[in-house]
Homo-oligomer: A and B are copies of this chain.
Amino acid sequence: MIIEIDFNSDEALYLQLRNQIILGIATAQFHEGDSLPSVRQLADMIGINMHTVNKAYTVLKQEGYVKVDRRRGAVIAVDVDHIQAMEELKKELQVILAKSSCKNISVAEIHELIDEIYRDYIN
């Protein structure tokens, strides 16, 4: 999988990395059981520090997207807590949809946009 990091972005590197990997899982570029590159390998590949990659992996573990095996490194293993995921989604949508409402975006337009994005994902 190609991981693209924008060094000019205002978004933290470890968060960009986390997001890229989550997108990779959603688009089936990473599958359950796949091993991610080791923190040192990926750091060298991208050209950033080992600890920045480690931080991304730690967050992914915390959020339930990978499990860490002593020998195999970070392994894709999505832990599904449906209720918690729904609650988090609702919180995140609250402000985003408020913005959309202020900017006169209709419900229909949002539904359409979501279908368009979700088409590339698994579920």
User: Are the CB atoms of B65 and A102 closer together than 8 Å?
Assistant: yes
User: Are the CB atoms of A82 and B105 closer together than 8 Å?
Assistant: yes
A101 at the interface (CB under 8 A from B): yes
Q: How far is the CA of A92 from the CA of B110 in the complex (A)?
A: 12
User: Are the CB atoms of B97 and A114 closer together than 8 Å?
Assistant: yes
User: Are the CB atoms of B95 and A117 closer together than 8 Å?
Assistant: no
What would be 25 A-B contacts, judged by CB atoms less than 8 Å apart?
Answer: A22-B95, A22-B99, A26-B97, A26-B99, A65-B102, A78-B102, A82-B105, A85-B99, A85-B100, A85-B103, A86-B105, A89-B96, A89-B113, A90-B113, A92-B96, A93-B96, A93-B113, A94-B117, A97-B117, A97-B121, A98-B121, A100-B123, A102-B122, A104-B123, A110-B118
